[in-house]
Amino acid sequence: MIANQKGKTERFVEMDVLNAYSNVRAHRKIGCLVRDHSENKEDIREIAKKALGWRSVHRILNLGCGYGWFEEALDSRFDIVVGIDLCDENRETFLRTADNISAECLFVRLELPSPIDMPSGSFDLIVSTYSLYFFSGIVSEVKRLLAPEGTFLCITHSERMLEGAEELCQLGRLRRLIERFSAENGETCLKNYFRSVDHIDYLNSLVFERRDREDLRDYVLFKKDAIASDVDSDRFEERLLQELGRKGILRLNKNDRIFIARQ
């Protein structure tokens, strides 16, 4: 019964985290904020793009596609781009973005992991950026849907995400969500299904100075649902701002890892 209750609680946390990604405007705003406060100024999408061979990529599937963040960085032309996401609010923006780079585009609202009603070998490239920890059980379906020479690209957080903030407040449930598929354990998971798994580390910190108090507030507000089960978000914000005022600078771990798995 205790384990059952814990599972339910973790599920509520997961759904609360997803709430933030249904607001396209807020999601885009926080993306700009993260970019502006990142020590590493290289776009992680560009690093991922350089690591892939695009000549044979004509059909793309994006799992947890959101509003089309990854597609915004693509400049080639593809036969079809398909996005799957739980948040139907992302449909219009994703389709508008995908339409710019593909002859055909499709958005499917589906809660993952679950069977995907598409033929085996349908895609040359399957992508999951900052989302596989929500549905890590989908990897066997990814393998089925990939063409024989296909590639699975995923980008995920380190389990040390927000290190710095956790010195002030423990974020256990958010950490457990990331641990479902993280920089630290992703390779082990993928090697159960793919013949080749490579990775590229993206080392980064978010840096806030005293003049950035409002940006730090906005960042905590975006994470509000994600941390609510661990700590009162107003109290969390207050403690971060106090630490910023005391030190004059606040660094939050934002290390990520790019995985490239091949059939």
φ, ψ dihedrals at 8, nearest 5°: -65, -45
Show the low-confidence residues of the chain (pLDDT under 70).
1-20, 166, 168
The beta-strand segments (E) located in the chain are: 59-63, 78-85, 102-109, 123-129, 146-157, 196-202, 205-209, 249-253, 256-262
Q: How many CB atoms lie within 10 A of CB 124?
A: 21
User: Which pLDDT value is given to residue 19?
Assistant: 66
HSE at residue 155, side-chain half, CA atoms within 13 A, is: 22
pLDDT tens sequence across 110-134? 999 999 999 999 999 999 999 999 9
User: Which pLDDT value is given to residue 16?
Assistant: 58
User: Which pLDDT value is given to residue 1?
Assistant: 23
One DSSP character per residue, 126-155 reads EEEES-GGG-GGGHHHHHHHEEEEEEEEEE
Question: What is the residue whose two structure tokens read 């973005």?
Answer: 97
| Token pair for 127 | 């992508």
Domains of the chain are: 9-262 (3.40.50.150)
